Structure 1
Amino acid sequence: MMHADGMIYLLSPLPREGTIHLPMIRFSPLVPTIDLSTCDTLLFTSKQAVKSAEVLNPEWKKYPCLAIGSATAKEIESLGGKVMYQPKSFYAETLSQEIITQFKDKQILYLRPKQVSFDAKTFLAKAGIDLQEQIIYETSCIRYEQKEKPDKNAIIIFTSPSTIHCFLKNFEWDESYTAVIIGKATKKHLPVHTHYEVADRPTIDACILKAEQILLASNSK
């Protein structure tokens, strides 16, 4: 369990104040541009997909967007795009049901990473929705040396299943660690018997807040 000397490690790509930054993933574009000629609606499931689209073809902003997750929706809006729909639930199965009922007649183009945790295309095809896909970027693990492994009693913030996979490729899990995860879907990727807490909302801010609460509680013991 946690002791008073725990440090907070953040594994997402961007650094945040009050945490030790240990990014686990790098993003690489896989195409020179995006072909938007056959769609009338875009589907984004990650902030990084929106950022990649902006680099590859800024014309994406002319299309209404379906956004999964508040961070994705925020990124679309901050770059000048229009979020036409954001599902209540964060989970892909629910989302797919909602697309089936509301957007059956749309030509939806899903701009996606090479690997996805949920195969939306196959799921929607069962309901007669032909989702177009373009794979526009891939994620790969950043390599670390053993000396960079988090200290004992660290609180480690995982913001996606891939941050867990890349962490475990680099380092062996220490039972003194506490994991803070961004959502329940990420939990099944943790090592067995991991001591973990789930953030109250699926945002990095909420993860950091949860980590600070754990640190405070352990320091007051």
Structure 2
Amino acid sequence: MIGFTTVAETIDFSGIDTLMFTSKQAVKVADQIDQKWKEYPSIAIGNATKKQIEDLGGEVIYQPQHFYGEVLSQDIAMFFRERKILYLRPNEVSFDAKTFLAKQGIRLFEQIIYETTCVKYDKEDMPQKDAVIIFTSPSTIHCFFRNFSWDPSYTAVVIGEATKVHLPKGARYAVAKEPLIASCIEKAEEILLSSNSK
């Protein structure tokens, strides 16, 4: 449902000592822009993000147990109050960590390094009735509705709570056990097996 476009030519590391990533895409983009990011320890949100950082040679110093925005910000306020954190992020985020942390007296530096854009589909590409549809971010939901309407027979599988709140009212849904695409697929397969056995 979404595409990615790099929007930064450089990364401003001045005055910071820690990086924060909330998606593996952000890590890939940072690596394309400036490999100096590897010189800084990183806070990783989600297992896939942590793996991407380590696969590209970066160091993860913290991965919160819960990746939801408010819990994450509370963790940062508790453990990283003295650090100067740069959040390398997309143009749209599901939780405003900067404002939340400001209330805790913590300044979070941010730089938008990529943006998400919606892929265009034709009406005949609309999913069939009873489809199970996986959404891995609020952006994927917004882009779905730029292309299609929601059929009551659909079931959504969402990657987490922050994504769930963007579903239409009354939509059937399930939340993946872990914030991973593989976990979303596993949940979708469970739903399909269950519906096929009826």
Q: TM-score normalised by the shorter chain: which range applies?
A: over 0.9
Question: Where in structure 2 are the equivalents of 1:105-116 lying within 5 Å?
Answer: 105-116=82-93
Is 1:93 matched with 2:42?
Answer: no
CA contact (8 A) 2:68 2:161 kept: no
RMSD, aligned α-carbons: 1.1
Is 1:26 matched with 2:3?
Answer: yes
TM (normalized to structure 2)? 0.96
Which residue does 2:141 correspond to in 1?
Answer: 164
Counterpart Cα distance in 2 of 1:194 and 1:219: 20
Which residue does 2:157 correspond to in 1?
Answer: 180
Cα offsets for 1:102-150 (capped at 9, x unmatched): 1111111111111111111111112221111111111111111111111
Please point out which of 166, 171, 175 is paired with 1:194: 171
Is 1:207 matched with 2:181?
Answer: no
Alpha-carbon distance, 1:37 to partner: 2.8
Counterpart Cα distance in 2 of 1:220 and 1:116: 38
Which residue does 2:127 correspond to in 1?
Answer: 150
What's the secondary structure of 2:61's corresponding residue? Answer: strand
Alpha-carbon distance, 1:185 to partner: 2.1
Counterpart Cα distance in 2 of 1:153 and 1:127: 45
Q: Which 5+ residue runs of structure 2 have no aligned equivalent?
A: none
Which residue does 1:58 correspond to in 2?
Answer: 35
Counterpart Cα distance in 2 of 1:117 and 1:44: 14
Opposite residue 38 of structure 1, the aligned amino acid is: G
Counterpart Cα distance in 2 of 1:217 and 1:169: 30
CA contact (8 A) 2:69 2:162 kept: no
Identity, % of aligned pairs? 63
Alpha-carbon distance, 1:184 to partner: 2.1
What's the secondary structure of 2:134's corresponding residue? Answer: strand
What's the secondary structure of 2:115's corresponding residue? Answer: strand
Opposite residue 185 of structure 1, the aligned amino acid is: A
Q: Which runs of 4+ in 1 moved over 6 A?
A: none
CA contact (8 A) 2:10 2:34 kept: yes
Opposite residue 98 of structure 1, the aligned amino acid is: D
Query: With CA pairs under 8 Å and 6+ residues apart, which has the higher RCO, 1 or 2?
Result: 1
Please point out which of 48, 52, 55 is paired with 1:78: 55
Counterpart Cα distance in 2 of 1:169 and 1:200: 28
What's the secondary structure of 2:152's corresponding residue? Answer: coil
